[in-house]
Amino acid sequence: MSPVLPQRPRRLRQSPAVRRLVAEHRLHPADLVLPVFVREGIDEPQPIEAMPGVVQHTVESLVAEARRCVDAGLGGIMLFGVPLEKDATGSGADAEDGILNVALRAVRDAVGEDLVVMADLCLDEFTDHGHCGVLDDEGRVDNDATLERYAAMGLAQARAGAHVLGLSGMMDGQVGFVREALDEAGFTDTILLAYAAKYTSALYGPFREAVQSSLVGDRATYQQDPANARESLRELELDLAEGADIVMVKPAQPHLDVIAMAAEVSPVPVAAYQISGEYAQIKAAAERGWIDGDRAVMESLMHIRRAGAQMILTYSALDVAPHL
């Protein structure tokens, strides 16, 4: 005789069709943004060893990749520049002929309004010391002097056609300073994506290969300490008060709790960045046959979505889009 069980949760798991019907969260290609690297001075795409399947693009191959993003229905593309020459102030970041601004113009010309074109607004790829800002006489990152450089960089990216500027440097006051500069120059429609909670992490390692970073040491004096969660809410509130249109948590998987906290209180969309080390971990384990890589990627993205992220930056965007 079967027991009388008035509650049988398994009823709603009995088939793929039922599970699909009652799913609380879904992923769509439009939720995803593909981060890409464009490198100056190369004739063909260069593989990034620590990120299998990811390359440093030429401008031409980047434009083709952007068109693939449109065809796949992705929400956006985020550009990072890799210049030939670097200096102490990252002068290539706001140069009209700088690799990032050249690539932004080319991509925007190619995709128009069919794809949201985003630009990384940070100096680390362009400085010879690898930090996200300019340094003072004692070798410390000068917050207020860096804001001036961010404003110049933001104006250059807006002129180049970026729809969204991703302020990733974690300088105090960066959102308000760049917003004011943009508005004064007439770029009132340019969207600001604030990296409101960007934590210091060993998982950035593959990214630093991708952008050929010159960094020695770490960025612990401006990126957040992984031990702290409440601090993220303070950063979030400050960025919102300064005019952030979207806020982001980075890295994503290690900070699902922070994504959930941000989603609970934020009146603007919340994004999350599945960073290079998160991507590389899955790829490395899958290459060794230890896990099902495709399934692991899908699970990881659903975890981020379930935590509250409305959009996800992931290097897997084009790979997973056909399956969503």
Asked about 283 being catalytic, the answer comes back as no
- Point out the catalytic residue in the list 86, 163, 219, 250: 250
Q: How far is CA 179 from the centre of its chain?
A: 19
Please tell me the distance from the alpha carbon of residue 305 to that of residue 76, in angstroms, as a whole number. 16
Q: Are strands 116-121 and 55-57 parallel, antiparallel or unpaired?
A: unpaired
Give the torsion sign (CA, 51, 53, 55, 59).
Answer: negative
Please tell me the distance from the alpha carbon of residue 66 to that of residue 81, in angstroms, as a whole number. 15
Q: Are 261 and 232 in contact (CB under 8 A)?
A: yes
Exposure string (b/e) for 82-102, b if CB count within 10 Å is 16 or more? bbeebeebbbbbbbeebbbbb
Q: Are 11 and 19 in contact (CB under 8 A)?
A: no
Residue 49 CB neighbours (<10 A) = 11
- Point out the catalytic residue in the list 108, 131, 179, 198: 198
**Strand locations in the chain (E):** 32-39, 46-47, 55-57, 76-82, 116-121, 164-167, 191-198, 246-250, 270-274, 311-314
Asked about 198 being catalytic, the answer comes back as yes
Three-state DSSP state, 122 = coil
Could you check whether the bond before residue 251 is cis, i.e. omega within 30 degrees of 0?
Answer: yes
- Residues with a known catalytic role: 198, 250
